[in-house]
Amino acid sequence: MINLDKLKEILLTVEKPARYLGGEFNLPDTDKPCEERVCLCFADKYEVGMSNIGLRILYHMLNDTEGVVCERSFAPSVDMAEKMRENGIKLFSLETKREFCDFDIVGFSVGFELAYTNILYMMDLAGIPFYSKDRGEEYPLIVAGGPCMVNPAPIADFFDALLIGEGEVNLAQFVALHRECKKSGLSKQEFLKRAAKLEGVYVPSVGGKVKRAVVKDLDKAYFPTKILVPSCDIVHDRSTLELFRGCANGCRFCQACFYYRPIRERKKDMLLKQAKELITNTGYEELSLSSLSTSDYSQLKELVEGLKEEAAKENVKLALPSLRLDSFEAEIYEDTKGASLTFAPEAGTQRLRDVINKNVCDENIYSSLKAALEHGVKNVKLYFMIGLPTETEDDLKGIVDIVKLVSKLHAQYGRSRIINITVSTAVFIPKPLTPFQWEKQITIDEMYEKQEYLKRELRLKNVKYSWHDAKASVIEAALARGDSKQSAVIRRAYETGCVFDSWNECFDYDKWVAAFDYCGIDIREYTGAIPVEKELAWDFIENGVTKNYLLRERERAYAAQTTPNCIGKCNGCGANKLGGCFS
Amino acid sequence: MIIFRHRKTDEASFLSHIDAMRVLQRAMRRMHAEVKYSAGFVPHMLTYSTTPLPLGVQSIAEYFVADSPLTGEEELLERFNASVPEGLKADFAAVTASNPNLAAKVTASLYEINAKEKVSEEVLSILDMSEYYMKQFKKGQELDVEVRKKIYSIEIYDDKLRLIAATGNENLRVDSFVQSLARFGVRACANDVTRIEQLVSVDGGFVAAKEILK
């Protein structure tokens, strides 16, 4: 355990000390007798990590397991890290202030490529050697899971094991097996050999293929309703209900859509029960719904009506996420007193929307916006992507046309006197496990050119335009399709000062470029087009969705042919082989 | 109105006032306190507190008031304690017909400073001084502030320093004060300070705020 007196002194000198202390409401009993102690880490600040629903589920799941204690650790801010180093305090867990070496397993949830350097930052602060091969029996098992496991190759060398898929399945089994092996006195390597046979567990030192672990029945899966309620402000400070996993729409740029398949729903009655418990147990003033496409939930109307009734009893606000344009239900929206509306057409023209399989037509956009404005919506947020495969100047012009259409519709039908239109563009990043995984990313110069065009054309009344940082998109793309050679790059980037790369104010492109150069690796190797016959760094993972399906979808993209939503009629992506597919 | 005297210790002492208020408002929801809301465009829960503590200073005497129709002190205390984190538990509950407006009535606080080493009696000489300056941060600037009139009494009790100082409009920043004691060899930080009670002026003397709620 760290020196608590020293910790208290340094906490008085850093920003937001409550981040480092725990002590939240609904804290599980972490002093109970235990045979296995796990520390779950999130490689970003407390307020980001505590907003992560996956971390919450796994944290409570492990603590609800007899004989297992799970604690948390987050990346401390730079000011705190400096003070910790000055005072010889190693990175610690929030609950019992233990150092990492006092745990059996330290697990990192990795949600974003630009968090890779933060993993090393946390290991460094904890006094843990970066590479798995350099860690002996005296160190805990260092493992990783989370969405970045779609292609863990760039960070695989840092971990003893990678948990591919859903933690309710593989983390639970991994911890249980380790507990048994510890009792039998097995060495770390002996344990890892056995762990490699578990569903969804990949051990880099053992190698081989791995099949992604999925929960087959969401209604039977663990979901906590007595969750931690942070005492300080966090990014998503509310209760969240998870409606379903996977997405039936198949937008061809979207990794989450394919990665989280098969599609599995929670039953409405189960969700209402969970909502009631969450409201009672947390005291949160807001309840939100989580899924990749809420409007595709089969009983959305009935669910929202039930939730509204439950929420009204305790003055709880129901927050609905962005709804798809093609199924926008203004009636539901108005009832939730929504003054703003978020739409993501993603592309400016019908042609390009067909290429990316965003099954939204011009008529949908027109009628949905009209309905929203007639219902008094005064803030419209529009999300687009630039640099999509086959994009032309006409497609950029199409973005401007949609924005102008909102103004025009507001003038004709708007019930609200004012209208604020926020337009945001992200840069297309070819991600693994999508039909666009072989595509090239546009160059930085092209990104700037397109952004400049939109800046110029969107200088319109009541319109605010924001864009995603081009340079960060390049590094994200390079790491997303990276291979094992990149572990050296990530290490070099960290050692030269890259940390909190997903925070605009901290991201330093030049240092990343220098790190790639230092390691003799050309970034363009990873951001350029990849021949379809080339073996990919993530081919060792059986993700459900097959390569053949992705290739077929790619061909349809180039022919501007759409693929319908797979609810009701399976498109044969292959995810149903993992079990439990709703479709 | 329901009123609780709660502590703000351990982890909770590092919560900002706004964060602590949010935690307590959520506790009201968890204990089904039926607290009234304001009638404005953005309704907010009608809750009240006394002068905020500086970050890191601990307390066993914070007051939280909510406009709730509930009654029954014992049950209230039980429900409150089941609804707050460990560092904010209460030891006293009261029910009043109207808002006691404690923020305006509390004029002083009793603090206990648990210094890291034995405190020298030299510190008591502050009481003989006509002026006492300490460094204090105001809007990011470090200023020398004269605070003698805000210090009502200092004594050494059980090897600890006990201080009664102004609270409210004329507030002594106790975190800055405790740092200023380094000149007397007192080694302590804000987290070594605990507010023992908040005091109300009655007949030229002080009584604990909870006494006027009985």
The pLDDT tens digits for A229-265 are 999 999 999 999 999 999 999 999 999 999 999 999 9
Q: In this structure, what token pair is assigned to residue A167?
A: 């933690």
Burial of A262 (0-12, 13-18, 19+ CB in 10 A): buried
% chain A with pLDDT above 70 = 97
pLDDT in tens, A32-58: 999 999 999 999 999 999 999 999 999
pLDDT in tens, B108-148: 999 999 998 888 999 999 999 999 999 998 888 899 999 99
CA distances to A55, A554, B83, B181 from A238, in Å: 15, 38, 17, 43
Which pLDDT band, with edges at 50, 70 and 90, does B9 fall under? very high
Q: Which CATH architecture has domain B105-213?
A: 2-Layer Sandwich (3.30)
| Euclidean distance between CA atoms A103 and A30, whole angstroms | 13
C-alpha A298 chain-centroid distance: 24
CA distances to A74, A78, A117, A159, A574 from A493, in Å: 20, 16, 7, 18, 38
Among B162, B121, B124, B129, CA closest to B146: B129
DSSP code per residue over A180-238: HHHHTT--HHHHHHHHTTSTTEE-TTT---EE-B--S-GGGS---SS--B-SS--SS-S
Is there a contact between B30 and A231 if contact means CB atoms under 8 Å apart?
Answer: no
Lowest mean pLDDT among A448-452, A491-495, A547-551, B101-105: B101-105
Residue A580 is predicted with a pLDDT of 77
Residue of chain A with shortest Cα separation from B85 = A25
Which pLDDT band, with edges at 50, 70 and 90, does A331 fall under? low
| Euclidean distance between CA atoms A196 and A357, whole angstroms | 37
Residue A493 is predicted with a pLDDT of 98
Residue A124 is predicted with a pLDDT of 98
Which pLDDT band, with edges at 50, 70 and 90, does A281 fall under? very high
Q: Would you call B185 an interface residue with chain A, using a CB distance cutoff of 8 Å?
A: no
Are A71 and A20 within 8 A, CB to CB? Answer: no
B25, B86, B190 ranked by CB distance to A12: nearest: B190
To the nearest whole Å, the CA of A25 is away from the closest chain B CA by 5
pLDDT in tens, A83-109: 999 999 999 999 999 999 999 999 999
Q: Is the pLDDT of residue B47 over 60?
A: yes
Which residue do the tokens 């329901």 mark?
B2
Q: Would you call B26 an interface residue with chain A, using a CB distance cutoff of 8 Å?
A: yes
% chain A with pLDDT above 90 = 83
Q: Would you call B142 an interface residue with chain A, using a CB distance cutoff of 8 Å?
A: no
Q: In this structure, what token pair is assigned to residue B124?
A: 């008591």
| Euclidean distance between CA atoms B67 and B97, whole angstroms | 10
Residue A51: Cβ within 10 Å count: 18
pLDDT in tens, A366-392: 888 888 888 888 889 999 999 999 999
Q: Is the pLDDT of residue A467 over 70?
A: yes
Residues in chain B, total? 214
Q: Would you call B189 an interface residue with chain A, using a CB distance cutoff of 8 Å?
A: yes
Identical fold for domains B2-100 and B105-213, yes or no, is yes
Which pLDDT band, with edges at 50, 70 and 90, does A336 fall under? very low
B14, B189, B191 ranked by CB distance to A18: nearest: B14
Q: Would you call B54 an interface residue with chain A, using a CB distance cutoff of 8 Å?
A: no
% chain B with pLDDT above 90 = 87
**Taking the domain B2-100, which CATH number applies?**
3.30.70
Is there a contact between B26 and A8 if contact means CB atoms under 8 Å apart?
Answer: no
Which pLDDT band, with edges at 50, 70 and 90, does A469 fall under? very high
Q: Where are the domains of chain B?
A: 2-100, 105-213
Mean pLDDT of chain B: 94
Q: Is the pLDDT of residue B213 over 70?
A: yes
Tell me the count of A-B CB pairs closer than 8 A.
Answer: 75
Interface test with A, best of B6, B8, B10, B26 (most A CBs within 10 A): B26
Residue A339 is predicted with a pLDDT of 66
To the nearest whole Å, the CA of A380 is away from the closest chain B CA by 21
| Euclidean distance between CA atoms A549 and A344, whole angstroms | 25
Q: Which value does ipTM take for this structure?
A: 0.89
Are A152 and A201 within 8 A, CB to CB? Answer: no
Q: In this structure, what token pair is assigned to residue B38?
A: 């304001």
Residue A263 is predicted with a pLDDT of 93
3-state secondary structure of A365: helix
Which pLDDT band, with edges at 50, 70 and 90, does A323 fall under? low
- What chain A holds in terms of domains, given with CATH numbers, is 4-211 (3.40.50.280), 238-321+541-583 (3.30.750), 324-429+440-485+521-528 (3.40.50)
Please report residues of B whose CB lies closer than 8 A to that of A282. Answer: 26, 30
Q: Is the pLDDT of residue A329 over 80?
A: no
Residue of chain B with shortest Cα separation from A17 = B14
Q: In this structure, what token pair is assigned to residue A409?
A: 């519709």
Is there a contact between A17 and B19 if contact means CB atoms under 8 Å apart?
Answer: no
Residue B182 is predicted with a pLDDT of 94
Residue A333 is predicted with a pLDDT of 54
Are B160 and B115 within 8 A, CB to CB? Answer: yes
Are A545 and A258 within 8 A, CB to CB? Answer: yes
Lowest mean pLDDT among A291-300, A457-466, B168-177: A291-300
Reported pTM: 0.93
Q: Is the pLDDT of residue A8 over 70?
A: yes
Residue type for position B68:
S
Residue type for position B89:
K
Is there a contact between A11 and B56 if contact means CB atoms under 8 Å apart?
Answer: yes
Average pLDDT over residues B14-43: 93
Residue A361 is predicted with a pLDDT of 85
